[in-house]
Structure 1
């Protein structure tokens, strides 16, 4: 995926301000996410029986399982994204995040990147709750699928060739379908909400024109409002499933 390094921006008729090239911007959020995932995994291994995280009390307190969420333990829809079932599981996910995340964080900026990641995580949990209500779900892969979706939206916005991203997505979807024990619903939910969140942040002008309110596109808050609507949709889906299950 191509990156454009902006060297300066116009500040007036006669002056320009130099800015850092994208490759020099630190991807703090990506590395913080990796660090938290590793710390949580280490804690669950230490708390488990013989290295089995499923025997960990901490794991049971944080994992996504609809009956427990329906008891009011809504934090599980977020904390599940920081749990992993084994060394290979976390290694693959963190390697993927390290490869995908920094470039996207630099391209979107830290705040927008965090918003996309968080929304994709919630969307992943919502999809898993609706489509796999009896499953115990753990892992960062739903949010990572969301980043892949955001990368696809970004490539289309910048008129770059999306072929590589599409191939990677198709390969990963194929693995999600063919391998046992993988939450396909969670992956697809993360992908969908990553696309929607990135679309809200990058295509807000087109959205405003589409709803007949082009003047809204001039407001700096508009992309954030649209992204918040997408995030609210993921929360609404979670709450709807909780209420349906409890009722």
Structure 2
């Protein structure tokens, strides 16, 4: 019996280290094996299987009212098989809040982060990431979340990913409290930059960081400082927090597997959360 490749190595080329996962089955694939799809990559086996399933589906379905149906008349709902449910849920909730922003009432002012308000309304540390300054602001953040989130979620688990996202959003707000305490902030950009940092940290711990990821982060950092109205403390703070989480969780997953890796990842996330809480408490002590 042939031993399976380690989790951080390509399943077809065990001598090649990679952090890229197939968006369908979650197996690690190297650059040669990666098959590009509209969002993420897939392994060659999944590409063949999906092609076969599509051919079978075309034979067994009939079209009614312009919508695909199975042979017994049921609608095909492939989105239910989405491999990153937490990422999709975050996007859905953010989209719902975004839709509510067009209703009467100033929802942004109720959910945005501002240091003075956060002392008596602590939920603002998270809710500010659900409101955006416009459609383009929302679309860009959610597009990046959909591109980066699933790979991290599949690697570290659903609940740890959700916790890391929340801690990242709160941490970006703490950075704003230290660097621009009089500014009000909206948008998920801080948490998105933290996901960039997590990807960089985890990739570095097991091998080489993908150059495309570094280029993407670099371009976005340049844009951050080129244009006004962008909270650079949230972006930079989120990136630093993400790097801390990424290096910590990457170190854990390099040395552990299974439940032990999950428990240790929780310790990393909890440790970062404690440090952020201490930093915020210190900032409040200096203000008061």
Counterpart in 2 of 1:91?
Answer: 139
Higher share in helix: 1
Counterpart in 1 of 2:284?
Answer: 242
Name the CA distance, whole Å, in 1 between partners of 2:216 and 2:145. Answer: 14
1:192 aligns with 2:249: no
Count of residues in correspondence between the two structures: 214
Counterpart in 2 of 1:182?
Answer: 230
Name the CA distance, whole Å, in 2 between partners of 1:161 and 1:199. Answer: 12
Is the Cα contact below 8 Å between 1:127 and 1:185 reproduced in 2?
yes
Name the CA distance, whole Å, in 1 between partners of 2:126 and 2:253. Answer: 30
Name the CA distance, whole Å, in 2 between partners of 1:197 and 1:219. Answer: 14
Name the CA distance, whole Å, in 2 between partners of 1:202 and 1:233. Answer: 19
Q: In the TM superposition, what whole-angstrom CA distance separates every residue of 1:83-134 from its partner, at most 9, and x where no partner exists?
A: 1011111111111111111222222221232232122111100001110111
Check 1:146–1:36 CA distance in 2 against 1; reply closer, same or farther (3 A cut).
same
Match of 1:44 among 101, 104, 122: 101
Aligned CA-pair RMSD: 2.6
Is the Cα contact below 8 Å between 1:66 and 1:242 reproduced in 2?
no
1:32 aligns with 2:89: yes
Q: So what's the TM-score if we normalise by structure 2?
A: 0.67
Q: Determine which structure has more spread, i.e. the larger CA radius of gyration.
A: 2
Counterpart in 2 of 1:103?
Answer: 151
> Runs ≥4 in structure 1, deviation > 6 angstroms?
none
Q: In the TM superposition, what whole-angstrom CA distance separates every residue of 1:11-49 from its partner, at most 9, and x where no partner exists?
A: xxxxxxxxx82168710011100011111111122134x
Check 1:238–1:141 CA distance in 2 against 1; reply closer, same or farther (3 A cut).
same
Q: So what's the TM-score if we normalise by structure 1?
A: 0.78
How far apart are residue 4 of structure 1 and its match?
5.5
Name the CA distance, whole Å, in 2 between partners of 1:43 and 1:182. Answer: 23
